[in-house]
Structure 1
Amino acid sequence: MTVNDLNEVVDIEHNSFSFPWSRNSFYGEIRENRYAYYIVARSKDDGRIIGYGGIWVLFDEGHITTLAVHPLYRQAGAGSFLLDHMLKKAHTKGARQVFLEVRDSNQTARGLYEKFKFKEIGRRKNYYYNEDALVMVYSFTSV
């Protein structure tokens, strides 16, 4: 992800989340956070951004900060592509585990993470507005 991608990314963000990140939040992540890695997926047809993801890798641990796919392109493999790419990046940077939080009610995202062998390890009460987050972990050593 580059600064030039931010308008499209923020559009997807606003179509995906109740409390979206701002353009400045993404800008800070890609320009100032040395532990962050952000990627976009593009349409094969016209090159438009159809999804994006972000991960922090610190020492032997990764943390997925965001993952979203434009509503018109969901269930077509972009989420899997992005998640696979972020996991590979974390592994090459020395991560042994990758953590994330996901809305308890987000069955689509939970299904994606479970497909990739993420395991639920806890719950954060009211992490989202009036909703819990499931804490999930992926362990490279268990693969």
Structure 2
Amino acid sequence: MNDSLIFRLMREEDIDQIVEIEKLSFATPWSKESFYNELYKNQFATYVVLEDGEKIIGYCGAWIVIDEAHITNIAVLPEYRGKKLGESILTKIMEVAREMGAKSMTLEVRVTNIVAQNLYRKLGFNNGGIRKNYYTDNQEDALVMWVNL
């Protein structure tokens, strides 16, 4: 990873940049209000951002409840994809969750998103089951994956 890249926890002033990454990454992106609520109203939410100078280039969120962590979202700006930054961000949130007492982590991923599934498997995630019609934009099924931390 390049020396100008740093990880840190999300702050309120990051939300506009994160919403832009959401819009470039997902068919049904989260709103500005959703991220604000995650930051200020959800005691279980933790978000890590990856910054290149003043620019946020990726982020990942998790809900950490007792000893379980659940990935809510992870995204990298399109022009930064293919450089193993998603892997770095996910590795970082796994470390943070472990430090906060999580013993396992789960996530959902589209059954057609093989690139993401391969990344998750590389980091030790296993298939856990299918959530039928999970994605509201097209009713696609989600593959549930989990890993012991």
Structure 1 match to 2:33: 24
User: How do 1:21-100 and structure 2 match up within 5 A?
Assistant: 21-43=30-52, 46-100=53-107
Query: What residue identity is the alignment partner of 2:95?
Result: K
Following superposition, the deviation at residue 51 of structure 1 comes to 0.6
Aligned residues: 138
Per-residue CA deviations over 1:53-108 (Å, capped at 9, x if unaligned) read 00011111000000001111011121111101111111111111101000111122
For the residues of structure 2 that align with 1:89 and 1:13, how far apart are their CA atoms? Answer: 22
Query: What residue identity is the alignment partner of 1:111?
Result: N
Query: What residue identity is the alignment partner of 1:117?
Result: G
Q: Which is worse superposed, 89-98 or 118-127?
A: 89-98
Greater per-residue helix proportion? 1
Following superposition, the deviation at residue 109 of structure 1 comes to 1.1
List 4+ stretches of structure 1 deviating above 2 A.
Answer: none
- The percentage of aligned residue pairs carrying the same residue is 44
Q: The residue matched to 1:138 in structure 2 has which SS? A: strand
Query: What residue identity is the alignment partner of 2:38?
Result: E
Structure 2 match to 1:135: 144
How high is the TM-score relative to the length of structure 2?
Answer: 0.89
Q: The residue matched to 1:127 in structure 2 has which SS? A: coil
Per-residue CA deviations over 1:104-140 (Å, capped at 9, x if unaligned) read 1112211110110100110001101221000000112
RMSD across aligned positions (CA): 0.9
Q: The residue matched to 2:109 in structure 1 has which SS? A: strand
Query: What residue identity is the alignment partner of 2:74?
Result: L
Structure 2 match to 1:11: 20
Structure 2 match to 1:123: 130
Gapped runs of 5+ residues in structure 1? none
